[in-house]
Structure formats: C-alpha cells, structure tokens
Amino acid sequence: MTDDTRIAEAAAQLRMAAESGVPCSPVRTILGTDDDIDVANAVQDHNTVLAVAAGRRISGRKIGLTSKAVMDQVGVNQPDFGTLFVDMEYGDGIEIPAGCLIQSRAEAEVAIVLEHDLDKGEHSFNDIIAATAYALPSIEVVDSRVANWDIRIVDTVADNASCGVYVLGGQPVPLDRVDLRALTMSMRINGVEVSTGEGAACLGHPLHAARWLADTMCERGTPLKAGDVVMTGALGPMHPLSESETVVADLGDLGTVTTCLLPRSEGAL
C-alpha cells in the first residue's frame, strides 16, 4: 500500500466515523506510525480540502495540546493544530446539539480574533499583539472520532486535532485591558468545579501559543488571516461533557462563557 493510499484510507475512516457517529479504530494502524506528524497532517489536509470543496467555510485555527495537564491526559509532548469551520462555532449561551458530537470533552481557553494577517514567516511576540483585535473567553468541546480516545499524536493530528465545536464569549476584550498570562480559569459543569488553571499553563502565555501557530501556518503556506479566530489552547484539564450538562468557564478578567449539550432527542441533526 502506498503512502497516498494509506492517507486516503485513514481520512475516509475518520470521515465515516464523523458522519455515522460511530467511533473508529486508531488510524495509526492504517498509517503504520505513532509519531510521523507529516503523514498525520496529510490526512488532516485531505479532509480539510474535501470539507472546503463541499462548501464549509474556514473560520480560523485551533491549537491543541498546549497545557501540560492535557498533554499528560492524552500521552503526548508537543502541541498540534486543527482547522475551525463556521459550522463549529457557537455563541455564548447557545445550546449545542448532542448529535454533532461522539465523545465530547470540554476545556476552557482564551480565543483571540485577528485584525491583521500574520504572514511574516517568523513572528515576534509583538507581531502577535499588534495583529490581535481582541480576546474572548471560550470553551472548546473537543471530540475524537477514535474509539475510547485511544489516541497517539498521529491519531489526534490526523483527526483535525480532535476538533469538535467551540463557543465564544460575547464581550470582546482588548489586549491592553487584560493580562492573559496571569488570568485564572475555573470551569464548572452543572455547578461543580471540574477544572482550574491559568493563562501561564498555555505554553507559558496564550500569545506564545498563537506565535507558534502563526509560524507553523506560514511554514505550511497557509498563514493566518485577518478575521481568523485562534483558539489558543486549554488552560487546565479537559473534562467529559455529557448530554443535558451545562458548562460555565470563568476566565477572570476576560469574563465568562457558557453552553449546554442538548439531550440527543432534542439535539439530533
């Protein structure tokens, strides 16, 4: 079997899992590797191209595996990235249909929205600040098409960095009004605190994560653009989110954001 054939087969397996709602076996068994990031990115790219061709619009990118707690949870030691689409985005307080997710887990993050392109190739910390229009509190509901979250770095990268959906707060905050590194995070599900963290847990600073992504996307020939949403990564451990549960993320000076996962009978697409 050629590399191209393996890539197409792995991509098709992930698409089928997403469409059917039935998780699949790890794609690393098809790809024959646990750690070849280039091959995994090729699988992700394959499905991204098909999604765009089918009419889905890219809204930005997410950075995954930025928190040591989340790295430990999934057994990896480096960040990754995935593509965000408009149909993945929910506003503060909007309910999420359960039928669009398979094995959902929630995590609280800082989102930034870009005012300018980040296409310099190599970026400074100040470049990221200057390009950012504002920050928002956010919840990413991650999901895995791989059964039982049995993933290695290749599986999650191939699976669009385990993207599910994301929820954005409704009060934009300029960067000069908040210290993203020092902010604290508390996430509650049905009123019970399930995760805590701080801005510094995200690669030392959420904007360091954004800088890594900006450089990485330039290397790949797809730089971040004005208007893109950048989900900078979890500030603390992710936690399973079940049907009928409400999640509230309090990110201190950045504000709060909330959503609820509908029961499947109400949320089926």
202 pLDDT more than 90: yes
- Going along the chain from its start, the domains and CATH numbers come out as 58-267 (3.90.850.10)
pLDDT digits (tens, 9 = 90+) for 2-29: 688 999 999 999 999 999 999 999 999 9
206 pLDDT more than 90: yes
Instruction: Report helix, strand or coil for 233.
Output: strand
> What per-residue confidence (pLDDT) applies to 73?
64
Sheet of 192-198: strands edge to edge?
192-198, 184-189, 246-250, 256-260
Residues in the chain: 269
Q: How large is the average pLDDT for residues 143-156? A: 95
Tokens linked to 148: 């039982």
> What per-residue confidence (pLDDT) applies to 264?
75
- Annotate 89-138 with three-state secondary structure: EEECCCCECHHHCCCCEEEEEEEEEECCCECCCCCCHHHHHHHEEEEEEE
Q: For residue 110, which amino acid is it?
A: V
Tokens linked to 25: 């076996």
pTM listed for this prediction: 0.94
> What per-residue confidence (pLDDT) applies to 72?
72
Tokens linked to 31: 């790809």
Closest to 208 measured CA to CA, from 106, 120, 124, 100: 124
> What per-residue confidence (pLDDT) applies to 3?
84
Closest to 12 measured CA to CA, from 39, 43, 56, 49: 43
Closest to 161 measured CA to CA, from 43, 19, 10: 43
- Average model confidence (pLDDT) across the chain: 94
Q: From CA 51, how far away is CA 56, in angstroms rounded? A: 6
Highest mean pLDDT among 31-40, 95-104, 214-223: 214-223
Q: In the structure, what pLDDT confidence band is assigned to residue 267 with cuts at 50, 70 and 90? A: very low
